[in-house]
Amino acid sequence: MFSDLSRFDMPVFNELSRVLRMMDDTLGDLGFADLRSGPRGAFPLINVGETGDAVNVYVFAPGVASQDLDLSVEDNLLMIRGKREMKDEADGADRTWCRRERFGGEFTRAVSLPDSVDPENVEATIKNGVLTVKLRKREEVQPRRIEIKAA
């Protein structure tokens, strides 16, 4: 995010960009999350938002088919399990990789949910590599409009 300031061709931004990249590398090597919001190497990336009636989880999983995903709600955790096939490994080509950033294999992510979520009222859809999970809140915690009557 902030570690690429190269579009600003000024010495101060170039130096700041270099320092931020060094911090990302150092913290990543120590096992800490980098300066971005997602932990280094986490797959799939996840966004979580909340409205008055639901918690919405967006799972960015390009290359993962719906039949390769498994969702469950366990003790206020949304568990996302799945696998992503690496097609380029199956082509039989004898190759040496110089750099590989694409993850293949099995993965598990857990998202903490508030107590207000109804684990029995969950909808999930996938489109263009984005899994959208809508977890409705219990009726008693949803905001409700109170009608005002004229006296």
> What are the structural domain ranges in the chain?
1-38, 42-89+102-141
Look up the pTM and report it. 0.64
Tens digit of each residue's pLDDT (9 = 90 or more) over 73-84: 988 899 999 998
Q: If you average pLDDT over each of 21-25, 91-95, 128-132, which comes out highest?
A: 128-132
Whether pLDDT at 47 is above 50:
yes
As a whole number of angstroms, the distance between CA 19 and CA 12 comes to 11
Percent of the chain with pLDDT over 70: 74
The H-or-E segment that residue 3 falls in is none
Amino acid letter, 3: S
Beta-ladder partners of 59: 46, 131
What does the pLDDT read at residue 2? 46
Mean per-residue pLDDT over the chain, rounded: 80
* Mean per-residue pLDDT, 24-35: 57
Amino acid letter, 79: M
What SS3 class is residue 150?
A: coil
As a whole number of angstroms, the distance between CA 58 and CA 126 comes to 10
Give me the architecture of the 42-89+102-141 domain, per CATH.
Sandwich (2.60)
The H-or-E segment that residue 113 falls in is none
Q: What is the DSSP string of 4-68?
A: --TTS-SHHHHHHHHHHHHHHHHHHHTT---SSSSPTT-SSEEEEEE-SSEEEEEEE-TT--GGG
Write out the two tokens for 38.
């997602």
Q: If you average pLDDT over each of 17-26, 65-74, 101-110, which comes out highest?
A: 65-74
- For residues 48 and 38, is the Cβ–Cβ distance under 8 A? no
What does the pLDDT read at residue 127? 95
* Mean per-residue pLDDT, 36-59: 82
* Mean per-residue pLDDT, 118-146: 90
Helices (H) and strands (E) in the chain, counts: 1, 7
What does the pLDDT read at residue 1? 42
What does the pLDDT read at residue 10? 61
